[in-house]
Structure 1
């Protein structure tokens, strides 16, 4: 039974001033309109419960906006449309000792804004001088950190064994992988294997290396092999040296 059903005829038409607090009891809206049921906790009759009522949001539109529905057990602030006790709606949520905020003001400095889910995903905006920037964390601490002070942007796992670091001031990008790093573009790929130490370059087209000077060296051996024709050409002198030189 809803609180509206419990009111007398006179009470149903009598305007109500002010707002009240309540606790969310149900979020399974049968009409799938993202409404909630609320038990009003400052009434003498603690069984007074609303029907499914709408929840206010700071931004709404057709298939867009900010969506953050309160959970069962959350304390909420309830208002009444035009003072009508039969037309309540949720104005917002309230933290309390049972459900404290995920962050607190330090030394009177209100520098951190945070959006955190119940499983631990969080978005943090820090305006502090010591660590200004934006951080995005998953519950397992995979993170994206944009640090305005250090002028860096880092995407990494919890232990930073796999990461991409952009040094904005230094103009460098460092990519690190624990076991293997693969770069792909169309039919071309470069693979760096951290376990074996091998580097593999593959493409269905041609590979070109161009420089003022190109050095190729191997600690034990260098192998050059062509399935078809092999051409070695120099516009100047061509030197072939070895302890033993074999041709064919």
Structure 2
């Protein structure tokens, strides 16, 4: 084989290798979800540089059973299996000038919805150390969890479970509280009126029973 022929073949081989696609950035123009016919987990993508349209590109997921599709207009990274134009896969979404990431510290895993909002309606944040989790839905509902405490709040009603101080559960609302301790003690404190009502009421003290008040009425 002459040197000139060898060089020509080498140039052709390099050209073919360079022509094989590896990855591209595109914008989602259509979403195909699992509720369609047929059910799918894919998007139609228009490539940013070439303008080529890739129909029904499968969207990769981190675990089976998970449905997570981008929205129309989102930027995605598309890779091509074995350099084949006919085997595209959308593997990730990309933030850009018109879509900001969640405003959180680098040590948090965060999910904020709707995405890109300065004040998202849902905020889920997990410390990468695994030591704490926080969930906020709107302005009135929140859940936080750490190694020793779980706290739930809905408006001005709170429920706290903790292993601190021997362990306790406390339900609080409007200045009234119900406290259950791990050692068996139960305390009910009402800021207003306390009513116990039932078809039958049986109150006993194994060692002592007391009833006190400025006025005590027993009917």
In structure 2, the residue matched to 1:34 is 41
Please report the TM-score for the alignment, with normalisation by the length of structure 2. Answer: 0.71
The CA deviation at 1:111 is 1.5
What residue ranges of structure 2 are gaps of 5+ in the alignment?
A: 1-17, 115-119, 179-187
The question of 1:217 aligning with 2:212 is answered yes
In structure 2, the residue matched to 1:242 is none
The CA deviation at 1:179 is 9.3
> 1:28–1:102: structure 2 CA closer, same or farther, 3 Å change rule?
same
The CA deviation at 1:35 is 1.5
In structure 2, the residue matched to 1:156 is 153
The CA deviation at 1:121 is 1.9
CA distance in 1: counterparts of 2:138 and 2:54, whole angstroms: 34
The CA deviation at 1:58 is 0.8
CA contact (8 A) 1:15 1:85 kept: no
CA distance in 1: counterparts of 2:133 and 2:78, whole angstroms: 33
The question of 1:175 aligning with 2:186 is answered no
1:64-122 residue CA offsets vs partner (Å, 9 max, x unmatched): 2x3221111111001122322123221111112221210455xxxx4111123325323
Within a 5 Å distance, the mapping from 1:67-216 to structure 2 comes to: 67-105=67-105, 110-118=106-114, 120-127=121-128, 132-148=131-147, 151-157=148-154, 159=155, 161-170=156-165, 171-178=167-174, 197-202=193-198, 204=199, 207-216=202-211
Q: Which has the larger radius of gyration?
A: 1
Higher strand share: 2
CA distance in 2: counterparts of 1:28 and 1:174, whole angstroms: 47
1:44-73 residue CA offsets vs partner (Å, 9 max, x unmatched): xx3x2221221000111xxx2x32211111
In structure 2, the residue matched to 1:52 is 56
The CA deviation at 1:26 is 1.2
What residue ranges of structure 1 are gaps of 5+ in the alignment?
A: 1-13, 183-191, 225-248
CA distance in 2: counterparts of 1:208 and 1:124, whole angstroms: 46
CA distance in 2: counterparts of 1:42 and 1:139, whole angstroms: 39
Aligned residues: 184
SS of 2:82's partner is helix
CA contact (8 A) 1:15 1:84 kept: no
The CA deviation at 1:210 is 2.2
CA contact (8 A) 2:41 2:67 kept: no
